[in-house]
Structure 1
Amino acid sequence: MDASPPKPAARATASPLRLWLEALAWRRRRLLSLCRRGWASLRVRGLRGTLARLRPSPPPQPFVAAAPRAPAAPGELRLPCPDAPRASIIVPVHGQPALTLACLQSLADSGDQAGFEVIVVDDASPAGTTEFLATIDGLRLRRNESNLGFIGSINAGAAMARGEYLVLLNNDTTVVPGWLDALLATFDAYPDTGAAGSKLVYPDGRLQEAGGIIFRDGLCWNHGRFEHPDDPRFNFVREVDYCSGAALAIPRALFARLGGLDAHFAPAYYEDADLGMRVRREGLRVRYQPASVVVHHEGASAGTDPTAGMKAHQAINRGRFVGRWREVLEQAHLPPTAGADAASERGRRHRVLVLDACTPMPDRDSGSVRMLALLRLLREEGCHVAFFNESGSHDGDYTRALQQLGVETWHQPWLGGLPRWLARHGAGFDLVVAARHTVLGPVLELLRLHAPRAALVFDTVDLHFLREQRAAELAGDRAGLRAAERTRRIELDLIARSDRTWVVSEAERQLLATLAPGARVGVVSNIHEPVAGGPGFEARSGLLFVGGFRHPPNVDAVRWLAAEILPRVRAREPGITLHVVGAEAPADIAALDGHDGIRVHGHVPDLAPLLRQCRLSVAPLRYGAGVKGKVNQALAHGLPVVATHCAVEGMHLREGEEALVADDAAAFADAVLRAHADAALWQRLSEGGLANTRRHFSPEAVRPVLRALLDGLPAR
């Protein structure tokens, strides 16, 4: 809102020579790590499988502020006007018919799914404006007999509205398709949202506002002003002090309860900041929604001279605003000298950096389900969370899903070289969580150097050396045993050099108590929300196997299942079908589709229908480590599981009550047939699996571990 930007906080920078040396050392460590991993992948997956893992993700499409379509003639323009709109878009106007027409044309072309009506409030415009507006089909029009200004016009439009939400929209804007659906989705995703604002972009493509900041002295600042709109700092859902009334949504009932925009700030300026303060006084949140993009031709309607015309009220109303909110500002807001970045995180508990090999893809692997749940829990505990994957790739909808979760998700080209990025940002973090030894190993020294105040957690995900060792023992692979021993030394070294270590099961914690007796090891297992109430025994049939085929234990499991277990099952019950779900199946597994009662589905984005259709989940894993997400997922949905001891390791499952367990093909087939035919046993296993999930694998089971860690960090 104000033209004078706050001074940025001072930031220490390393010398170019030091950064170059650090980058050289990091690249050497990373190259060694990649070579080890590449060799291991070649041995296990072969050349084709290894090359598939190296396939890069396409870069994100940069934002371009496209010119709006030439407006139709007023008599040809048609706007939707449903009987029960979800949103009422209020556009105040005073003259400027060309601007208004371009705005309305963009609304007509937006393609949003949400039903909306458009209310234009003509604020005593010069002759001719009302007549041209009256020719637009579907438009609801109100004419003010005298000039009421922005505040009076918005309140007058709100009195006519029928939608569940009011959307305030300047007439000097053009909306980007999908803007309204994204804006309203904020209220669905975050039920405590009282107001939500769009990303405002200048016509030349620069960012105008990523939410508003209010400083202690009443200075209001558009966060990200003149920055690039694709910068990760401005592309995640975030709580803010206020959002500009140029594109702002609020529940109609809340707007009425608050008395609308306050005429104390008439005719305009600071009314949106005041509204944000009143929303937050109600115990609700104001959120910035980056997926809702609106191009704002700022100044086209009100001018830009702060000493003349409408803009002159800006300085006057700042004094009024401070007079009303002085106590809150002094107690809870930062001075301008703190800088915009610090002020944008006001009230956050801790700053947390999370690193992993890949962006979480929860429809593809269980590790992603766990990581996504961890990120969500950290956000729920009031932390600012930054994330990037090992390659710095932008992974399309998966990256955008993290941003919608409220995670500051970094990617190329914004990430740049890791040493330089950490030199710039590392000192601000209180906690770093690095998942997998392959990720932490190359960067540990950089983290210690550039994030000296941060507690470092090594999240093993599972003990990789244990999985490698078991695979090598099963195959009689002496070279594999030597590789597993190298991985063991690497993991134990990282455990010794980290402040804390997370494993996913009590069995692994006990193992580390012997191998690394001085380490601080905690259990942060898989995380699943129990989903009760699915179809019963009689409405289901068939078996379900779920597992991504980049993971070698899943390949081995399906081959064993198809060759030795399923033939025994179908010899006694020929009608039983096996559904195999997982991306990137090897050719021999893909070829099983349609033969001997096997359906190979490949990648299935939404497993819910199969989880509700099948009678049993099977997990015949012969090697592996950690807690198996496929088992957790089935139990959390009340789907009984037949598994090997390896598959249920560390899951606290009671045999015969919460799962059936068998390790040889004949016993496994017998267990499948028994559970598939016995309704009483099926029901007992279903209820037991849900109870196990609630006790050991729900978010509430993990939350105390995270809280204890966060409580032990120094206060900001």
Structure 2
Amino acid sequence: MPLPAHQLLDPACALKPAWAVFDREWYLRRHADARVLCQDKPPEAALLYYLRVGARLGHSPSPLFDEAFYLARNPDIAVLVRGGHYQSGFDHYCQHGHRGVSPHWLFDDALYADLYEDMTLENLDQHQCFGRYDHYLRSGQRERRMGHYLFDAQYYRARAIEAGVDGAQVDLHGAFVHFLNRLGGVEEELAPSVYFDPAWYIEHHPGAKAQIARGRFSSAIAHYLTCEAAENFDPVPQFSEAFYRTRHPDIAAAIEQGFYRSAYQQFVQFGAFELRQPRAGIDLVYYRDMNEQVRNDLNAGEVRDAFAHLRLVGLVENLPYCPPEEQPHLSEALTRELFVKKARQNLAIFARHRLDFTLAGPPVLSVVVVVFNRFELTMLSLASLRNNFTGAVELIVVDNDSTDDTRRIADYVRGAKVLRMAGNVGFLRGCNAALAHVTAPALLFLNNDTELAHGAVAAALARLGGADDIGAVGGKIIRTNGLLQEAGSIIWNEGTTAGYMRDASPLAAEANFCRDVDYCSAVFLLCRTELVRALGGFDEAFAPAYFEDVDLCVRIIGAGYRVVYDPAVVVHHLEFGSAATTEASMALMRRGRRIFRKKHMEFLKTQLAPSEKTLVAARGRGGKPRVLFIEDTVPLRRLGSGFVRSNDVVHAISAAGFDVHVFPLNGAAYDVMSLFGDLPEEVEVLHDRDFTMLAEFLAGRRNFYDLVWIARTHNFARVLPYLRKAGLAPARVPLVLDTEAVASNRAGHGVGLQAEFAGVEVCREILAVSASEVAQLHALGLPQASLLGTARAPAPTPNGFAQRAGLLFVAGIHQADSPNLDSLDWYLREILPALAAMLGEAPVLHVVGYTAPGIDLSPFRHERIKLHGAVGELAPFYNAARVFIAPTRFAAGTPYKIYEAASYGLPCVGTALLRGQLGWGEEMLSAPVDDAAAFARQIARLYRDEALWNTMREKALARMETENGFAAFNAKVAQVLRAALEG
């Protein structure tokens, strides 16, 4: 239906799209020149004026189409109009634009297509709809469909009725049309949706108010959606454009690339569902989790998202939407009482379901539990022990002459060795008495006022058996109030002790990495039995209790063994649960400290003085050199895009005998399971820090680090001033810069190379990922540059050629200007059609990988493309696909994706650019970056030729085996570290 505007607006024209309207009354109100000339003339005079004069002046024919918006949004169309190819933007829309171009700032054609699968042009043609806007005007607005992220027909109708408008008038032409007709008139501007408040907007943006008053904009919503600087205007009081852009740099990048007009657009369309924080002081996760009403309403579908619920309901009903400045205080006395109550309430279980520690063979573990009354606590502890570890446990219960049901504990705990003391001999003597009965190689001292978390015993045994020089293992002790009692403990030089991270969250970064420590308390202390025997058990000078575990650990260290803190060993503890009173316990502690100080004067001379400044240094033993590893984020393997290699680097630094501390400059908004599970257990993952906290972090760790490793060149200039200020100047503390990739190469031919590497000559070592990039850096006058490639162990998937089908593309997409996003775009627009022509039907392309929030992949929804997103296991995809593709047109470094595909035994077609970066020959097929047809031919060739497929698979696997082994990679990292430290 390519009809020009003058024909389509002719009253005699049979074609009547809902948007093809000339609204005389609206037009004359809007344009004074037309009103003067046409007011008293026949009705058709105004239309003739518009067609002959007004269209050329930039007038719109009705409120349904915005001429100025259309031309400003589409400069290519504006050029055609100025050149006389079309009478106006509306004329272009009539002939062509209605099939995919947005006609108005309050209707988003692409969004409408993305949200509703039936809005394909083919389907619309079959139903005689002239584009998506025609459908929306005819029926979509009445069907509660969303044509724009800021307009909700149902919401607007309700506001109009509240304002005294007859609902029938709203329904006559639809809420959307009614809303547009009302704008610019004398009536109050009503909110188009819960996401925009026109009254607040005008009141809080005086510049916008002045422009609307001068007639520059018809309304607040028109100003917000069409003004030049959206970043300067907040749409509602609960959202801050500046805050959101700062908090989410990926969104800012997406806006710069044109994916969104504003951060608020991304938030409404995606971020609100992800529960992203819209401004300081509003926490949508907290709002949802702390209010049952919110969860119920969201689950029932009564409200679209938590942000909308907050504005509609939460603010009215005063529901809490952010954590209080001070967390609700649960006194430890109360939580202790709850712990005891739980233990008592569990007692009935054991009447019918008794604990069984009967041994059928030699035990792997002996557990000594000393008890005095508190039967309910003991049963809770022993039940958690039995549930925690199903292996052969020799349980030794030392009863210090209890007077409660503990006397009958053998009736409820089968297979336990119960030693009856003649009186209350205390914890220390009770443990020593049990030592003579221990037969297992590992001995666990366990308090009877504990509850073990999942896998605690197995984790401790694995740690103890992990190295011959580990003498004892302790764990993360959590008090009843949910805060830490200790994450390993410190002995100060004057004999006092400190539980590291006491009162902190158990999820704190500092509490979640494995390290050697001064001691771990006997709340849970796993030891080598023969070592404890050789040391004579606990020193009875400390009887009845306290400091005996400190003393034992010091003697273990003196014997040449290590005491290790393992955060996987989690123990919930009723602190002072077995003591008569807390005051009595404290008195015994003071006595024990005096004895300890006198006994270990030489040891104490080697310890640090108590101070906040020395706390981090005192928390660990061993004297390993310390490396601060700085990256964009915590390098999780599932993120791809160089983070896999960074992950390997961290592993290699740790394996080389260094303490590693990972600092993510852009934060790490990932689940704790990934954060703590994807890196070595000995690495401190500072997941709760970001660039805004770097200065404070470095100030708190002054003189702590021996070396700083900076990943990615763009981070060098960013952090160097902070390093200098904190005493980590390159002249004193060596810097290693791992470029990961020379970013300038992505812009083509090393453009900006000098700027990218300005100032890096202060680094002791500079690493590049390919020989060509090393040569670039040498030519730039950086002789310290050397090669650190990519490690990948071959692990070929089993399926043969005939068992496979489809194509695979695995890549992380972190930014709107990502080479991987460009690859998908090139494939969809040019390679896919060429491939379909060659094969009759293109194989299905499976796209797998992490996509950053704010990256819109909806343009790539196609019947021959399947978007899988991030997946937990890649091997099934590599085992199912026949060909891996990498249509990368610009990139730097070396493509890890090719290494990964080759290691899985999946032959690859890539661009000549990637082939050159790899230095590969017959191991992969390639095509020029500007030749989509050639790329498609290579895919078709490999997809159909089984012999070629097998040859390439074997050659790539052989090359990976030769060049990309982990042994050489780790050795190179160790060499770099040594060279940097030796200067």
Fold match by TM threshold 0.5: yes
The correspondence for 2:537, drawn from 254, 263, 267, is 263
The secondary structure found in structure 2 opposite 1:522 is strand
Which amino acid in 2 is paired with 1:619? A
Q: Confirm whether residue 296 of structure 1 aligns to residue 596 of structure 2.
A: no
- C-alpha displacement of 1:264: 6.2
Deviations 1:207-231 (A, max 9, x none): 33222456799x5844416452455
CA shift at 1:546, angstroms? 0.4
1:643 aligns with 2:910: yes
Identity of aligned residues (%): 28
Pairing 1:712–2:972 present: no
Amino acid at match of 2:395: I
Residue by residue over 1:30-63, the C-alpha shift from the partner in whole angstroms, topping out at 9 and shown as x without a partner, is: x999999987643436227975899868899999
Are the counterparts in 2 of residues 86 and 114 from structure 1 also a CA contact under 8 Å? Answer: no
Match of 2:220 in 1: none
Tell whether the 8 Å contact from 1:79 to 1:139 is kept in structure 2 after alignment. Answer: yes
Name the counterpart of 2:809.
Answer: 545
Alpha carbons 1:388, 1:409 under 8 Å: kept = yes
2:223 corresponds to which residue?
none
Check if 1:409 corresponds to 2:685.
Answer: yes
Instruction: Tell me which amino acid in the other structure corresponds to 1:652.
Output: G
Whichever residue aligns with residue 616 of structure 1, its letter is V
Rate the CA distance shift 1:203–1:587 in 2: closer, same or farther, 3 A: closer
Instruction: Provide, for residues 164-223 of structure 1, a one-character-per-residue CA deviation record: whole Å limited to 9, x for no partner.
Output: 976542112234566557656757998986643211234455533222456799x58444
Does 2:822 align with 1:556? yes
Give the match's secondary structure for 2:416. strand
Partner of 1:24: none
Change (3 A) 1:372 1:672: same
The question of 1:389 aligning with 2:389 is answered no
Residue pair 2:664, 2:691 contacting (<8 A) in 1 also: no
| In structure 1, distance between residues paired with 2:471 and 2:960 | 34
The answer on whether the counterparts of 2:823 and 2:887 sit within 8 Å (CA) in structure 1 is yes
SS, match of residue 451 in structure 2:
strand
**Structure 1 residue 545, shift from structure 2 partner:** 0.7
Residue deviations 1:629-685 (CA, integer Å, cap 9, x gap) = 2112112333322211222343232x22x2222333344334334444555544443
Specify the code of the residue in structure 1 equivalent to 2:431. Answer: I
Which structure has the larger Rg over C-alpha atoms? 2
With over 3 angstroms needed to count, the CA separation of the structure-2 counterparts of 1:36 and 1:103, relative to structure 1, is closer
Alpha-carbon offset, residue 73 of structure 1: 5.3
Deviations 1:250-287, CA, capped at 9 Å, x for gaps: 6xxx5468758843635776775677678779997543
Task: For 1:550-699, list aligned pairs within 5 A.
Answer: 550-551=814-815, 552-569=818-835, 571-572=838-839, 576-584=843-851, 586-592=856-862, 595-596=863-864, 598-653=865-920, 655-656=921-922, 658-663=923-928, 664-699=931-966
Count of aligned pairs? 650
One-letter code aligned to 2:739 = T
Cα distance in 2 for partners of 1:589, 1:116 equals 59
Matched residues in 1 for 2:942 and 2:554: separation? 58
Could you tell me how far apart the structure 1 residues matched to 2:678 and 2:465 are? Answer: 16
Match of residue 76 from structure 1 = 349
SS of 2:638 mapped into structure 1: coil
Counterpart-to-counterpart distance in 1, 2:575 and 2:879? 52
**Distance across 2 between alignment mates of 1:396 and 1:342:** 28
- String of CA shifts for 1:556-580, please: whole Å, max 9, x gaps: 2223334444455554385944321
Determine if contact 2:368/2:431 at 8 Å carries over to the other structure.
Answer: no
Residues 695, 701 of structure 1: 8 Å contact kept: no
Kindly report which structure 2 residues correspond to 1:468-479, keeping only aligned pairs within 5 A, or say none.
Answer: 468-469=747-748
Distance 2:800 2:493 in 1: 59
Task: Tell me if structure 2 keeps the 8 A contact 1:580–1:599.
Answer: yes
> Which position in structure 2 is the counterpart of 1:448?
724
Determine if contact 2:368/2:395 at 8 Å carries over to the other structure: yes
- Equivalent residue for 1:457? 736
CA distance in 2 between partners of 1:508 and 1:603 (Å): 30
Q: Does residue 374 in structure 1 map to residue 649 in structure 2?
A: yes
Separation in structure 1 between the aligned mates of residue 867 and residue 253 of structure 2, nearest angstrom: 27
Residues 1:151 and 2:431 aligned together: yes
TM-fit CA distance, 1:371: 1.5
Give the unaligned 5+ runs of structure 2.
1-243, 278-282, 287-322
User: Displacement of 1:607 after TM fit?
Assistant: 0.9
SS at match of 1:422: helix
The secondary structure found in structure 2 opposite 1:454 is coil
Deviation (angstroms), 1:512: 2.4
> What is the TM-score when the length of structure 2 is the normalising length?
0.57
Give distance in 1, aligned partners of 2:640 and 2:262. Answer: 17
Instruction: Report how far residue 581 of structure 1 moved.
Output: 0.9
* Aligned amino acid, residue 46 of structure 1: F
- 2:417 maps to 142
Change (3 A) 1:225 1:153: farther
Aligned partners of 1:361 and 1:368 also within 8 Å: yes
Structure 1 residue matching 2:793: 3-state secondary structure: coil
Q: CA deviation at 1:621?
A: 0.9
Corresponding residue SS for 1:605: coil
Superposition deviation, residue 247 in structure 1: 1.4
Q: Distance in 1 between matches of 2:653 and 2:414?
A: 45
Find the partner of 1:335 among 601, 607, 611: 607
Work out whether residues 472 and 526 of structure 2, in 8 Å CA contact, stay in contact via their aligned partners in 1.
Answer: yes
Q: Does 1:245 align with 2:522?
A: yes
Q: Taking structure 1 as reference, are residues 669 and 272 closer, same or farther at Cα in structure 2, changes over 3 Å only?
A: farther
Q: Give the Cα–Cα distance (whole angstroms) in 2 for the partners of residues 523 and 79 of structure 1.
A: 63
Task: State the shift of 1:544 in Å.
Answer: 1.4
| Residues 436, 460 of structure 1: 8 Å contact kept | yes
Asked if residue 511 in structure 1 is aligned to residue 788 in structure 2, the reply is no
What amino acid maps onto 2:824 in structure 1? V
Q: Deviations over 1:373-399 (max 9, x none)?
A: 111111112222222212345533233
1:433 aligns with 2:709: yes
* 2:965 maps to amino acid: S
Aligned to 1:493: 758
Alignment partner, residue 695 of structure 2: 419
Match runs of 1:44-193 below 5 Å: 44=257, 46-47=259-260, 51=266, 67-68=338-339, 69-72=342-345, 74-77=347-350, 78=353, 81=356, 90-104=368-382, 119=395, 121-136=397-412, 140-146=415-421, 149-152=429-432, 155=435, 158-159=438-439, 167-176=444-453, 179=456, 183=460
Structure 1: gaps spanning 5 or more residues = 1-30, 471-483
TM-score when normalising by structure 1: 0.76
Residue 357 of structure 1 corresponds to: 632
Contact kept? 1:348, 1:382, Cα under 8 Å: no
Return the letter of the residue paired with 2:372. H
Instruction: Say which structure, 1 or 2, has more relative contact order (CA 8 Å, 6+ apart).
Output: 1
Residue 646 of structure 1 aligns to a residue in which SS?
helix
- Asked if structure 1 preserves the Cα contact closer than 8 Å seen for 2:624 and 2:659, the reply is yes
CA deviation string 1:278-327 (max 9, x = no partner): 8779997543122443233444435775898799677667877x59xx8x
User: How far apart, CA to CA, are the structure 2 residues paired with 1:685 and 1:189?
Assistant: 41
The corresponding residue for 2:474 is 197
Pairwise CA RMSD = 4.6
Contact residue 545 and residue 619 of structure 1 kept, 8 A: yes
Cα deviation for residue 706 of structure 1 reads: 2.4
Aligned AA for 2:791? I
CA distance in 2, matches of 1:554, 1:255: 56
| Paired position in structure 2 for 1:475 | none
Is the contact made by 1:196 and 1:287 (CA closer than 8 Å) also made in structure 2? yes
Is contact 1:402–1:409 with CA below 8 Å preserved after alignment?
no
Mapped pair 1:42 → 2:316: no
**Cα deviation, residue 427, structure 1:** 2.8
Q: Which moved more, 1:693-702 or 1:99-108?
A: 99-108
In structure 1, C-alpha distance between the alignment counterparts of 2:689 and 2:617, rounded to whole Å: 23
Over residues 421-477 of structure 1, what are the superposed CA-to-partner deviations in whole Å (9 max), with x where a residue is unaligned? 22232432222122234433232112123213221233322122221347xxxxxxx
